[in-house]
Structure 1
């Protein structure tokens, strides 16, 4: 049976457990039920402003239903895992190390202008390495 863990983050980047739940299946109505129980425990001022998830569509839909005012983002760790899984094969070992360096600069960008700068540099480098958009799709933001 799926185990759901809901974690909060403090302003000092420390995580803490809010709730645990075990559900029969990873379905939207089960996620809604869990999130509604969590919402009932919180004062309105404590409701999340941002929710990070993997790309589970049922969970994303439940978050939108129960916490409609919260921004919903994909977890960076899950994005990194997808990059590793789907992109690594398009590179030699040396080029992969260079790509990871560009990728790291991109995801650590502290502002939109710096992000745009790193994205342009990464795209330029991919063109120089003859990586076509067909072999490597960069769809971020």
Structure 2
């Protein structure tokens, strides 16, 4: 599996939960709230170079996944806090478990190790350009 997947929540502000899968087995996750201009800026940084997350590692969670080809997927991602005194973010590990539908839709249950919070969302496959055009 490879590519960008998103879940969109619309309330007072739009929030995007983003997952980007790489051929090398890595996956990154980020949740952002803002407007189209802010999303465009954040999408440019939402990537990896080799095994290193681009952008702010405290807000971008990174991990590895295995695509077993059975229609199910599970993985864990975690963020990196370089300087705890310089961020509002706290170290956490997020677990994702769910199903793959034709490699275009994921139904995933997300669980936070730090808070125990659980949520289930549908993620749709897209491209950076298509996502920005939709907003």
TM-score when normalising by structure 1? 0.26
Structure number having the greater helix percentage: 1
Structure number having the greater strand percentage: 2
User: Which one has the largest radius of gyration?
Assistant: 1
TM-score when normalising by structure 2? 0.27
Bigger RCO (CA 8 Å, 6+ sep): 2
